[in-house]
Structure formats: structure tokens, C-alpha cells
């Protein structure tokens, strides 16, 4: 977890120094994708789509998975739509910077701390990862808490309790998919598409439960969005 969030930890220096410029850093080690494997247009489109997905999953946390594979291509309309939403929210919070400064502060915290892990420097096969939002979501929660003062006190208290209750229920619901490797990767296979790594890991878990596992057509089908690497082949339970 610490290694995965190394880029965000580096950006905390940037936040603590009142958003002064700080060089972007990424987690050390191999796994960086070349520009030939992941072209710049795909990186930019995925970055915009990831911002939108992080926002949406914060408000409505459904179809969460341990791995979201990077697609070969993304609809331009989706990237443009997410970009317009980011611009619109930025303008709204900038306009309210004097009335409610925490809105702009929290929003910039969210945008800034995601930059090292948004996919411009592509590491691994994922398009995004929920674990990358541990620090960025602090910014959104700052904006939400201080933004509640715009709502009359009795209503804001009730609204806060309603949101906390919904999040508690959602957390309890998600826990059922983190019982073991089988439930974790079955969920990933169910809510994502062409997820070769999740299929492979699920097959490995199932094969460890049976000395002679029966190959499943679902586990053995090709997953075009994830490159089939030698490591993936060697670790396949069906080889």
C-alpha cells in the first residue's frame, strides 16, 4: 500500500507548502509502459475519464474492483464530458473562493494529489485504482464538510447523518467481496471487461483449492485489453 501511494506521499509536500510546485514522483520499480504501448492521446483520455470515475465512485460507490484494466481505446466523447465537468466545477469553486474558501482548497487538493497517479506516467496494467484516492478524497471531504455551512443547520445535520449512514451501508456491502481471493477476483471479473489479470488470478485461486481443477471457458477466454506477458502466461493455472 505504501509503495502504491508513494507518488501521493511525495505530493503531500506540495500540499503542505501551500500548493508550491513540486516535481512529480512515481513509485520506484519496473512496470512503466512505453509511449508505444500506451500512446499520449490514450493517457490523456484515460486521465480525464479517471478523474470523472473517481468523482462518481465517491458519490456512488458501485462496481468497485481490485483492478480496472486499461482499455485499448476510450470514447472521445467520454473524455470530453469528464473534462467539461472538471472545468465547470473548477469555475464554480473559483467563483465561491471568497464566500467558502474550503471549496476551492479541497478541490485543488483532490486534483493535485491525483496527478502523480492519474496515468500520465503509466505504471502497470490498470486504468485507475481506488487505493490511489486515499489522500485525494481528503480534499473532497474538506470541501463537503465546510460546504455544509451553506445549508441551514437542522437540514445540514440531517443530511450529514443520511450520508454517513449510506456510506456505512455501502462499506458493509463491499466487505462481502473482500472475504478471500475467490470473492475478490470473481467480483473483479464480474464488474470489469477483458480483465486478463483478474481472470488469471481467479484461476490460480480456484486451482489451489482443487488438485485437478477443471478449465473454465470464462477463465480461459482472451482478454484483449490487457497485454499477455510472459509472467501472466507462466502463472496461469491452466498451463
- Please tell me which residue, 38 or 211, carries the higher pLDDT value: 38
Strand partners, 69: 126
> Do 25 and 113 form a contact (C-beta atoms < 8 A)?
no
CA nearest neighbour of 188 among 124, 126, 231, 136: 126
Averaged over 24-42, what is the pLDDT?
64
**Whole-number pLDDT of residue 157:** 80
* Confidence (pTM): 0.74
As a whole number of Å, the end-to-end CA separation of the chain is: 30
**Whole-number pLDDT of residue 145:** 86
> Do 204 and 235 form a contact (C-beta atoms < 8 A)?
yes
φ/ψ region of 94 (left if φ > 0, alpha if ψ in -120 to 50, else beta) reads alpha
CA nearest neighbour of 167 among 195, 194, 190, 140: 140
> Do 122 and 30 form a contact (C-beta atoms < 8 A)?
no
- Please tell me which residue, 235 or 190, carries the higher pLDDT value: 190
**Whole-number pLDDT of residue 121:** 83
Averaged over 163-167, what is the pLDDT?
89
Note the pLDDT tens digit of each residue in 100-148.
899 999 999 999 999 999 988 888 788 899 999 999 999 999 998 888 7
Confidence of residue 26 (pLDDT cuts 50, 70, 90): very low
Return d(Cα 102, Cα 10) in angstroms, integer. 22
Which residue in the block uniquely carries the three cell numbers 469555475? 91
C-alpha cell at 178: 473482500
Confidence of residue 24 (pLDDT cuts 50, 70, 90): very low
Note the pLDDT tens digit of each residue in 47-98.
999 999 999 999 888 899 999 998 888 888 999 999 999 999 999 999 999 9
C-alpha cell at 186: 470473481
Return the H-helix or E-strand segment holding 47: helix 40-59
Share of residues in the chain with pLDDT > 90 (%): 40
Amino acid at each position: 500500500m505504501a509503495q502504491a501511494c508513494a507518488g501521493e506521499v511525495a505530493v503531500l509536500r506540495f500540499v503542505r507548502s501551500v500548493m508550491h510546485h513540486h516535481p512529480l514522483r512515481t513509485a520506484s520499480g519496473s512496470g512503466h509502459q512505453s509511449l508505444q504501448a500506451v500512446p499520449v492521446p490514450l493517457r490523456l483520455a484515460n486521465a480525464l475519464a479517471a478523474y470523472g470515475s473517481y468523482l462518481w465512485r465517491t458519490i456512488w460507490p458501485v462496481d468497485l474492483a481490485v483492478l480496472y484494466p486499461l482499455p485499448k481505446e476510450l470514447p472521445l466523447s467520454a473524455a470530453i464530458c469528464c473534462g467539461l465537468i472538471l472545468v465547470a466545477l473548477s469555475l464554480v469553486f473559483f467563483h465561491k473562493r471568497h464566500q467558502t474558501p474550503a471549496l476551492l482548497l479541497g478541490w485543488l487538493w483532490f486534483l493535485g494529489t491525483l496527478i502523480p497517479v492519474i496515468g500520465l506516467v503509466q505504471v502497470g496494467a490498470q486504468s485507475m485504482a481506488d487505493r490511489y484516492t486515499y489522500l485525494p478524497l481528503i480534499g473532497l471531504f474538506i470541501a463537503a464538510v465546510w460546504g455544509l455551512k451553506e445549508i441551514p443547520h437542522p437540514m445540514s445535520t440531517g443530511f450529514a447523518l443520511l450520508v454517513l449512514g449510506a456510506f456505512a451501508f455501502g462499506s458493509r456491502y463491499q466487505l462481502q467481496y473482500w472475504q478471500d481471493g475467490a470473492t475478490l477476483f470473481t467480483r473483479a471479473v464480474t464488474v470489469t471487461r477483458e480483465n486478463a489479470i483478474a481472470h488469471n488470478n481467479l484461476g490460480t485461486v480456484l486451482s489451489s483449492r482443487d488438485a485437478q481443477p477443471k478449465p473454465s471457458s470464462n477463465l480461459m477466454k482472451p482478454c484483449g485489453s490487457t497485454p499477455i506477458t510472459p509472467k501472466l502466461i507462466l502463472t496461469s493455472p491452466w498451463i
